[in-house]
Amino acid sequence: MMRPLLERLESRAAAGRPVTVALAGAGRFGTSIAAQIAQMDGLRLAAVADPNADNGAEALRAAGWADDQWVRCDSTDAVQSAVETGNAALAPDADALASAPIEVFVDATGIPEVAARNAWEALGQGRHVVMVTVEADVSCGWALAREARRQGVVYSLAAGDQPIGIMELFDWAATLGLEPVAVGRGTRLYPHDRHGDADQALERLGYDAETASRLRLNAQMYNSFRDGTKSQIEMCAVSNMTGLRPDCRGMHEPSAGLNELPNLFAPRDAGGLLRQTGVVDLANAVASDGKSDMPEHIATGVWAVVTCGDERVREDLRLHGTRVSRDEERVLLFREYHLCGVETPLSIAQAALLGASSGAPRATPTSEVLAYAKRGLRPGDTLDGSGGRLVYGLIDRAEAVSADGVLPLGLAYGAVVREAVAADQPIPMRAVSAIGDSFVARLRDQAGA
CATH 3.90.1210 intervals, the chain: 367-447
Please, what is the end-to-end C-alpha distance for the chain in angstroms?
34
Angle at 305 between CA 299 and CA 306, to 5 degrees: 160
> What is d(CA 347, CA 359) in angstroms, rounded to the nearest whole number?
9
Report the range of poorest mean pLDDT among 144-158, 183-197, 242-256: 183-197
> What is d(CA 312, CA 319) in angstroms, rounded to the nearest whole number?
10
1 pLDDT tier (thresholds 50, 70, 90): low
Biggest CA pair distance of the chain: 67
> What is d(CA 286, CA 417) in angstroms, rounded to the nearest whole number?
34
Burial class from Cβ neighbours inside 10 Å (0-12, 13-18, 19+) for residue 68 reads exposed
Q: In terms of CATH architecture, what is 367-447?
A: Alpha-Beta Complex (3.90)
H/E stretch holding 182: strand 179-187
Q: Are 73 and 100 in contact (CB under 8 A)?
A: no
CATH 3.40.50.720 intervals, the chain: 2-160+341-354
Angle at 158 between CA 156 and CA 164, to 5 degrees: 95
Q: Which of 185, 210, 332, 205 has its CA nearest to residue 259? A: 332
* Phi, psi angle pair for 26, to nearest 5°: -110, 45
What is the distance, to the nearest Å, from the Cα of residue 345 to the centroid of all Cα atoms in its chain?
Answer: 15
Question: Mean pLDDT of all residues in the chain?
Answer: 95
What region does 16 belong to: left with phi over 0, alpha with psi -120 to 50, or beta? Answer: left
Q: Which of 86, 78, 33 has its CA nearest to residue 55? A: 33
> What is d(CA 97, CA 402) in angstroms, rounded to the nearest whole number?
38
Which pLDDT belongs to residue 309?
95
> What is d(CA 260, CA 164) in angstroms, rounded to the nearest whole number?
23
pLDDT digits (tens, 9 = 90+) for 383-400: 999 999 999 999 999 999
According to the CATH classification, is domain 2-160+341-354 in 3.40.50.720? yes
How many residues are listed for the chain in this entry? 449
pLDDT digits (tens, 9 = 90+) for 287-342: 999 999 999 999 999 999 999 999 999 999 999 889 999 999 999 999 999 999 99
> What is d(CA 377, CA 297) in angstroms, rounded to the nearest whole number?
36
Q: If you ran DSSP here, which 8-state letter would residue 206 be given? A: T
Tell me the pTM. 0.96
Q: Which amino acid is located at 42 in the chain? A: G
Helix axes 112-124, 439-447, angle to 10 degrees: 60
H/E stretch holding 130: strand 128-131
Q: How many CA atoms lie within 13 A of 117 on its CB side?
A: 12
pLDDT digits (tens, 9 = 90+) for 59-88: 999 999 999 999 999 999 999 999 999 999
What contacts 170, CB < 8 A, 6 or more positions away?
180, 183, 238, 242, 304
